[in-house]
Amino acid sequence: MFGDHCPLVVTPAQLHNLQAENKSASQDLIVLDASWHMPTSPRKGDQEYLAAHIPSARFLDIDRVASPHLLNLAHMMPDPQTFVAACSKLGIAPSTHVVIYDSHGVFSSPRALYMFRTFGHNRSSILDGGLPGWLAHGGNIEQGEPKIVPHSKYAAPTLNQEAVKDYEQMVANAELDPSHSPDAYYVLDARSKGRFLGTDPEPRPGLSSGHIPHSISLPFNTFLETHAVPEDIASNIINNLPLKLLPTYTRLRSTQGMLFALEESLGHERAKEVLEGKRQVVASCGSGMTAGVIWLGLKLLGVERVGIYDESWTGYAMRPGSKIVKGE
């Protein structure tokens, strides 16, 4: 359907067509459920996958396909060997078109897409609207364990190091004032404005809120829009599932809507710098998950020079020597 030029985002209708074209158990198309929930939530992605998933989908545990971290941070970018092992186990080949979704709509799937794209697997997309959007458009579901698939061969890829920022790089960048240093990159913080300002607490007990010096608040939900699940779908399907999906779900805003959000946050001139490729951008959030939404939105706007601070705020604020700004 897309050849070698897979889009960053596919619709439920497009996924339905892709599945119709790939009815055989081939490696051409593999759908992944990458649902993830906050550690404070009672919901568990792997359990919900067993309760309901898109037909033939396999479960991608973002917390397991990750590198260990000295601060015990979760879902850090895996090393090439870990990524290859996960792809092999899931039956993914370098030629596979991987379509990723989550149970919120758009929440954790962009982080998984960022992982695939950063390892050069550009035949990858997210499903806009996720599982609720799939159901809202009349999609079928399956329950239970996935079918056993033969392991695939996946050659060791090269990680795009420019797209993954670490603590030392963020500290060095925080010493530069972007308004005076063209080499400084803009750090876009995807957390809520209250956490950015330091007026609201962090979900992790004992962790200070606030922000990295010179960073800019751009809450991830400003790139999203909320949709209600149609009443007939909610009453006849979702309410009868052995899992609790919310009555609303998120989808990506139009590119015009995301452009408006970007300009409202950065201002016209700084947004122009980003869009024209004159300034590198790094997205950050609480733990590196919802920064993926900002990364994806910027990619959809044509921005190439965008990465993610892998540790994000948790890794930064846990270190005693980190400079923390509260207020604007």
In tens digits, the chain (328 residues) has pLDDT values of 676 789 999 999 999 999 999 876 568 999 999 999 998 888 899 999 998 999 999 999 999 999 999 898 999 999 999 999 999 999 999 999 999 999 999 999 999 999 999 999 999 999 999 999 999 898 999 999 988 888 999 999 999 999 999 999 999 999 999 999 999 999 999 999 999 999 999 999 999 999 999 999 999 999 999 999 877 776 666 666 666 677 789 999 999 999 999 999 999 999 999 999 999 999 999 999 999 999 999 999 999 999 999 999 999 999 999 999 999 8
- Residue 157, by phi and psi: left (phi above 0), alpha (psi -120 to 50) or beta? beta
Q: Are both 9-136 and 162-225+252-318 of the same fold?
A: yes
CA 296 – CA 102 distance, rounded (Å): 15
**Running DSSP on this structure, what letter comes out for residue 53?**
B
* 87 among known catalytic residues: no
CA 124 – CA 289 distance, rounded (Å): 18
Residue among 285, 289, 291, 303 flagged as catalytic? 285
Q: How many CA atoms lie within 13 A of 14 on its CB side?
A: 16
The pTM score is: 0.95
Helix, strand, coil percentages, rounded to 5, for the chain: 35, 15, 50
- Cα-Cα-Cα-Cα dihedral sign, residues 164, 167, 171, 172: negative
Locate the domains of the chain by residue range: 9-136, 162-225+252-318
The domain 9-136 is placed in CATH, from the list 3.30.200.20, 3.40.250.10, 3.40.50.2300, 3.20.20.70, at 3.40.250.10
Q: What was the pLDDT predicted at 183? A: 94
Q: Return the CATH superfamily for domain 162-225+252-318.
A: Rhodanese-like domain (3.40.250.10)
CA 320 – CA 240 distance, rounded (Å): 49
